[in-house]
Amino acid sequence: MLVLVAIAGIWEVLVRFSIADVQFLPAPSEIAAAAQGEIFGGELVGRLIHTVGVTALGWGIASVIGVGLGLLLGLSPTAYRYSMTSFEVTRAIPPITFVPAALLIFGFSLKMELVLVIYGGIWPVLINTIGGVRSIAPELRDVGTMLRLSTPETIRKIVLPAAMPSVVVGLRLGLSLCLVLAVVAEMVGNPEGLGNGLIRARQALQPALMFVYVIAAGLLGVALNAGLRATARAFLPGNALKDVFAS
């Protein structure tokens, strides 16, 4: 933490006495002033709420689809054999390149942003759910068969808990991806949220304001990650967590 303060201090001094003569680089004090203006009476809070809302909603939908589809593909060898390669090939296409296609199809709208966020968020959840389900020890499944559990019961009591650490990894990766895609969509498409604030500040040549939005986006990333970590901690046993948050 101290280092952050030190960096800000050095940065301030460098810019103030124009030792580092970089065009458009605002001093931290200017950024702080801009932040104050933008928080009280500016648009920052509204934009933040928009981005958080879309990210969370898209991530939620993506997670449900990803886990559902992942369970199907993980549990049914037939489904796996007859579709996995298709998913692998489609997954290889970077979601970013779908932004232009989504723009053509949905125009500059909230729908476009949401579709992108959902699309991007599905992949990590899907892949990690499949991986988690397929790596469950066969003995565990045998226990389910022996106890004559029905399929829904097996899924709820055996498959999901056993695959959970891997699923949470997918959820976490998905969440950061959803945020990235939301910001990109706002920058080029849907004219709302943090991404749009960033572009507006850039176009208006207000570097200090731009840094405010960059910092807001970064803090949002940290906050979302911390929130997910806290939630996961509440639901998962301690040992599983070490793996999940290692990388």
Partner 1 sequence: MTQDRASDIAPSTRLYERIRLDSLTGLLPLVLLLSVWQLIGDPESPFFPAPSSWWPALFTLGQGDKIIPAILDTVRTFGLGLLGATILGVALGLSIGVSRTFGRAVGPTFEFARALPPAAIVPVATLLLGFDETMKIVVVVLAALWPILLNTSSGVQELNPVLLDTARSLRLSTTRTLFGVLLPSVMPAIVLGVRVATPIALVITLLVEYLTAVNGVGALVGEAQRTFQPARVYALIAIAGLLSLVVNSGVRFVENAVQRRRVGDQ
Identified binder of partner 1 from the candidate list 13, 68, 76, 82, rule CB under 8 A: 82
Report the residue number, 158 or 208, with the smaller CB distance to partner 1.
Answer: 208
Site for partner 1 in 147-166 (CB under 8 A): 165-166
What DSSP assignment string belongs to the chain?
Answer: -HHHHHHHHHHHHHHHTTSS--TT---HHHHHHHHHHHHSSSSHHHHHHHHHHHHHHHHHHHHHHHHHHHHHHHH-HHHHHTTHHHHHHHHHS-GGGHHHHHHHHH-SSHHHHHHHHHHHHHHHHHHHHHHHHHTS-HHHHHHHHHTT--HHHHIIIIIHHHHHHHHHHHHHHHHHHHHHHHHHHHHHTSS-HHHHHHHHHHHTT-HHHHHHHHHHHHHHHHHHHHHHHHHHHHHS-HHHHHHHTT-
Q: How far is the CB of 214 from partner 1 (least distance, A)?
A: 5
Identified binder of partner 1 from the candidate list 187, 208, 228, 232, rule CB under 8 A: 187
Q: How far is the CB of 150 from partner 1 (least distance, A)?
A: 27
Site for partner 1 in 205-234 (CB under 8 A): 207, 210-211, 213-214, 217-222, 224-225
Q: How far is the CB of 22 from partner 1 (least distance, A)?
A: 6
User: Would you state the structure tokens that stand for residue 113, as one six-digit string?
Assistant: 């942003």
Identified binder of partner 1 from the candidate list 17, 21, 41, 93, rule CB under 8 A: 93
Could you give the CA distance from residue 1 to residue 20 in angstroms, rounded to a whole number? 24
Residue 76 interacting with partner 1 (CB under 8 A):
no
- Binding piece for partner 1, criterion CB under 8 A, among 56-64, 137-145, 153-161, 180-188: 180-188
Residue 173 interacting with partner 1 (CB under 8 A):
yes
Identified binder of partner 1 from the candidate list 176, 229, 236, 241, rule CB under 8 A: 176
Residue 131 interacting with partner 1 (CB under 8 A):
yes
Site for partner 1 in 25-44 (CB under 8 A): 25
Residue 65 interacting with partner 1 (CB under 8 A):
no
Identified binder of partner 1 from the candidate list 16, 49, 60, 85, rule CB under 8 A: 85
Could you give the CA distance from residue 30 to residue 107 in angstroms, rounded to a whole number? 36
